[in-house]
């Protein structure tokens, strides 16, 4: 609808083709760790279940929940305040959580009996969501900030050296050897 192209997922699900992310997360709800916006990480209603489960495990403030989701996803997804707080408001309106003033403008969210019953009725989807988030976390580990920073440093150093002027044959040989040596070390890890 409205320019979305649907495609079939190997898992049997369908989703929008705005962008792809490992394990079928799509759309436009949060920030991707590697910079910029990414596709929707959760399907409609999934974040609500994740947040409710996190609150059931430990009553929390909004910011703590943002960090808890980010941690559960291994940094592959961080919900924005513009996503998390409306989700908390909805959960409160549904009677699934209560919000108590915790001072400093913070609210402490706690699950209600109705919220616990809803969570138990959705145990299988909740388990599936946390499994998918763990898989996304494992996938995103390949893109750790340290590795991304080091890769960018190497690219920048190489670009600066190559655009600074003509290289001598010795410099070309030394650069190629350094890159080959680095590749061999990485392959050996």
CATH of residue 64's domain is 1.10.10.10
> Cα separation of 162 and 176, whole Å?
12
Nearest of 87, 83, 74, 80 to residue 22 by alpha carbon:
74
Which two structure tokens, joined as six digits, stand for 149? 């920073």
pTM of the model: 0.57
Would you say residue 1 lies in a domain? no
Q: Is the pLDDT of residue 61 over 70?
A: yes
Same domain, 86 and 151: no
C-alpha count within 13 angstroms, C-beta hemisphere, residue 168: 3
pLDDT at 141: 65
**C-alpha–C-alpha distance, residues 54 and 72, integer Å:** 10
How far apart CA 30 and CA 133 sit, in angstroms, is: 14
State pLDDT tens for residues 117-171.
Answer: 999 999 999 999 999 888 888 877 666 777 778 888 888 888 889 888 899 999 9
Separation of alpha carbons 110 and 74, rounded Å: 24
**12 shares its domain with 69:** yes
Q: Quickly list DSSP for 35-80.
A: SSB-S-SS-TTHHHHHHHHHHHHS-B-HHHHHHHHHHHTTTS-EE-
Give pLDDT tens digits for 75-124.
Answer: 878 889 999 999 999 999 999 999 999 888 899 999 999 999 999 999 99
Provide the pLDDT for residue 142: 65
For residues 123 and 158, membership in a common domain is answered with no
Residue written as tokens 């920048």? 156
Same domain, 94 and 159: no
In a domain, 90, yes or no: yes
CB 64 within 8 A of CB 72: no
Say how far apart CA 128 and CA 53 lie, in whole Å. Answer: 12
Q: How many domains does the chain have?
A: 2
132 located within any domain: yes
Q: Which domain holds residue 154?
A: 145-188
């Amino acid at each position: 609808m409205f320019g979305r192209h649907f495609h079939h997922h190997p898992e049997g699900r369908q989703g929008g083709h705005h962008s792809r992310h490992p394990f079928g997360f799509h759309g436009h709800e949060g920030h991707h760790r590697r910079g910029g916006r990414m596709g929707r990480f959760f399907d409609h209603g999934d974040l609500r279940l994740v947040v409710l489960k996190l609150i059931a495990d430990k009553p929390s403030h909004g910011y703590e929940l943002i960090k808890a989701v980010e941690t559960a996803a291994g940094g592959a997804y961080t919900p924005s305040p513009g996503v998390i707080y409306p989700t908390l408001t909805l959960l409160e309106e549904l009677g699934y959580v209560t919000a108590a003033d915790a001072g400093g403008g913070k609210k402490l969210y706690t699950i209600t009996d109705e919220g616990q019953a809803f969570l138990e009725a959705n145990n299988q989807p909740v388990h599936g969501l946390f499994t998918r988030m763990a898989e996304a976390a494992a996938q995103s580990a390949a893109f750790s900030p340290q590795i991304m920073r080091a890769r960018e440093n190497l690219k920048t150093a190489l670009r600066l050296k190559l655009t600074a002027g003509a290289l001598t044959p010795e410099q070309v040989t030394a650069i190629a050897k350094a890159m080959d040596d680095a590749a061999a070390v990485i392959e050996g890890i």
